[in-house]
Structure 1
């Protein structure tokens, strides 16, 4: 009887122990399920993060084949995930060859992680600059390059803008230096000479003969004209640099405009006994800014007269040029040709640059600043035109003006 009770109690205890173990097992399973849920949620969160970031993430094997790409890669490259996973990096990076990739892979194995810049081609053919962060990853006994790719188009544009700003700043500094150089030397010198000559003339004019007075007054007039031209160029250049000159095109007869400019140089023309040919058609009328074009021809004729010898010819001409491939579009081309001293190629390259002061004395020791041609070039560009010169030493120079579509008949 007692043995039977003991057996019953033992059996009951065993049942209780089994229930306890069962509960522990249930708790363990529940904990495992909870842990698995957490891991699953974490994996989903990680995958979500990878797929929603804007940077492309691409895993490549040692042969450059894509083995994993995120959604951003598909969006940025324009391919589906299946298309990318069937491709190699050589199909999207035109700068990489098999040889370059092999050297790149060795670098990955050595450095583990680093950054490079290259270019990639999208499915639509568009080429974009990219920054690639390279990471060596080992998974499942294999090595991969986990590449994080970022489009740096905007960064490159900003860098380009910064470079342009730096260039512009350098140009402005050169402009400032040129401005003060002209004021300190090129303008001060002629003004001082003009003042001294006028003083000398006023003190001794009563002792001059009529012929001497006429000669000295002509010299004074010529000096005044040169000073006025220098001041005009200086002011026009400064106003143009600060954007204070408005472009106001009107219809004008070019033959008459050039003749009015030539009248300013009658004394200089007579002094060198020059022959002037205005071969611009008298009926030619085009739409230009008359003030700017007067300044352009005044500066070009100043140079032509300055560098001409006695009894030579200066020609002002015109051609109507038909644009290649455009049967209905024409370009107005003017030129000012002299037979004077001419220029070397190095001198021509320095003509239109502020940072390289170029001005040589004329055939009668006339002085200048080189500023006139810079103003001329600026004013021609206001007309969407171009200015260039053809010249050889001792054979004279031809300055060409080609006006854009703003100047129309």
Structure 2
């Protein structure tokens, strides 16, 4: 059976062997480890080599008195913190004062009572342990302070020198608490004009109130397009990313922007090019291909028919891409007005299912729709467009002989309806969940041509749903399937 761990290591320095033996036996009996020496110089060396937890020190000793021993121990960094209790037959107050002045923590008069010695030892060991713990905690706190200060200095450097506009605002009121020079540069405001004012007070966007509401209800978002109204009245197109941070018990929003004004200008030029320079020759080309396939210009060999079929498919895909680009830009720019009217969600779900039934049959996919009769104030054509886009994606990326299910239910917490489209397809990797609704984003581009996708369908869906004051998101597990959700308000 292993010996129990000693309660503490005590060094006893006394020139009287009888005293040493008595103290050693009593202390060992009560669970302490004891080292005994009869000379002050020996005790000093022993304490320096292996510092004890506590020292019991006699005053009157030859060659070196207890006071001198104590002075030596307190002058050495290795032994300075060791508590020293004097044990002496000297009873004069001046002797006790001298002991405390030398650095002793206590003074016991001979002949001593063992209970008193044990009580004094335990008290000062406890005080020593507490002091050590406090010292350790203080060192840890100082280290944390140094690390935090270093992190703050690093953050401040990045914040101030970042080429991206950055702002820290309160989530509750959208009040600007701190901005970096890049933010001031793009907005045209001075620091004094910005700090302390809110996003709505400065009118930083066409609809600052809606943006503030999104800050308050969303934990995070990335690459949100936002039109920034500058101090001069000009408009800058920016991409905003947002994360919540906690500072001194208050929740703030960390906004990081990316200026895409020039990119938007080039996009608009591209849209104009697509609209005017590509659609006309493509329409003409499709007419020519249709004429060839009809046989009115003569027959084609089997190989010729295959080449013609490839040309038709690619032309159709290019037309779909052009139409999707134009459609998305018209929705995003507000050039397409949502013609809202009262409509029944059940009718829209049935219509979307019927439109996609032929595609599902070709792919040997079972469509299961559970329509729910709920009245919406919405543009029925656009809602059907969003639903057919989701059904089309689910069918494209599902294996044969599986089921694509569309359901709807009303929310018990808010006046809204939630529509879900669930498939048993390939799923979406977690790192793509955040970007799947961006333009030209596809989970796997290797078979995009074969599937006929343009990479714009989900982006169109998101814009349609957001134009209706709703939201769209996806939950997915790779190799098991995905479920897309649309939430639409019922009170607008």
TM-score (norm 1): 0.49
Tell which has more relative contact order, 1 or 2 (C-alpha 8 A, sep 6+): 1
Q: Which has the higher helix share?
A: 1
